[in-house]
């Protein structure tokens, strides 16, 4: 078995809470008393463009929330979206330990809109941990499309069997595994520590 030289991490669900997934959307819609069915019909039509960086956050909000008058200001809704991002217990510190060891190339492969992605990189100090961000909003590709994983491999020029990808969703892992990457489904930090150790990967 080839030794792991690079670790690619999902962000939402692995290091942080999700940025704007169903749980976060439901919380925001309930908080502002926005009709969920009406919102989600519009959301589904634009989410791919939003996460690929083809439309801005303001354009997304125009199409999903503020296409009609609301009894709350746009800034309040936007600020609430950002406030939902929280670190998952122990995850950032665990990833930082790998980065500090200098033994592995550290990167992300994640689906996020540009504004939320940039906010999370800055807010949670992700630049101190990762050398490369293969984020859907930067590269115009989304997991589980094969090309986003292929881009990570081609950009780093590290063979697939020397890369480990960590995600919380099985489908995202299946597509990476088909390209030859080692994969781990994240449940919690202790489980992740053990699964990485089985691959000979330690901070």
The domain spans of the chain are: 6-18+86-198, 22-83
CATH code at 22-83:
1.10.150.240
pTM of the model as a whole: 0.96
Q: What is the mean pLDDT of residues 98-127?
A: 98
Q: Is the pLDDT of residue 86 over 90?
A: yes
Among positive and negative, which fits the CA dihedral 63, 16, 96, 168?
A: negative
Residue with tokens 């809109």: 113
Residue-level pLDDT at 109: 98
| pLDDT tens, residue by residue, 3-37 | 999 999 999 999 999 999 999 999 999 999 999 99
Q: Residue 81 and residue 71: Cα distance in Å, rounded?
A: 17
Query: What CATH class does 6-18+86-198 carry?
Result: alpha beta
| pLDDT tens, residue by residue, 41-78 | 999 999 999 999 999 999 999 999 999 999 999 999 99
Helix/strand/coil for 184: strand
| pLDDT tens, residue by residue, 120-135 | 999 999 999 999 999 9
Helix, strand and coil percent figures for the chain, each rounded to 5:
50, 15, 35
| pLDDT tens, residue by residue, 139-185 | 999 999 999 999 999 999 999 999 999 999 999 999 999 999 999 99
Residue-level pLDDT at 69: 97
Residue-level pLDDT at 72: 98
Q: Is the pLDDT of residue 1 over 90?
A: no
Residue-level pLDDT at 187: 97
Residue 118: is it exposed, middle or buried by C-beta count within 10 angstroms (0-12/13-18/19+)?
middle
Tell me the longest C-alpha to C-alpha distance in the chain.
59
């Amino acid at each position: 078995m080839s030794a792991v030289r690079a670790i690619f991490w999902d962000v939402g669900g692995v290091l942080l809470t999700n940025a704007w997934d169903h749980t976060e959307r439901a919380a925001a819609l309930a908080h502002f008393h926005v009709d969920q069915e009406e919102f989600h019909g519009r959301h589904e039509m634009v989410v791919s463009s939003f996460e690929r960086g083809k439309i801005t956050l303001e354009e997304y909000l125009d199409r999903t929330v503020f296409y009609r008058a609301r009894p709350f200001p746009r800034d309040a809704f936007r600020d609430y979206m950002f406030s939902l991002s929280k670190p998952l217990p122990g995850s950032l510190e665990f990833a930082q330990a790998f980065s500090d060891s200098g033994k592995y190339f550290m990167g992300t492969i994640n689906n996020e809109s540009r504004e939320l992605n940039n906010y999370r990189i800055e807010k949670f100090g992700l630049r101190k941990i990762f050398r490369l961000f293969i984020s859907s909003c930067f590269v115009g590709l989304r997991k589980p499309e094969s090309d986003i994983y292929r881009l990570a491999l081609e950009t780093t020029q590290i063979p697939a069997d020397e890369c480990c990808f960590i995600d919380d969703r099985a489908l995202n892992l299946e597509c990476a595994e088909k390209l030859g990457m080692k994969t781990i489904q994240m449940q919690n930090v202790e489980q992740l520590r053990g699964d990485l150790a089985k691959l000979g990967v330690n901070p």
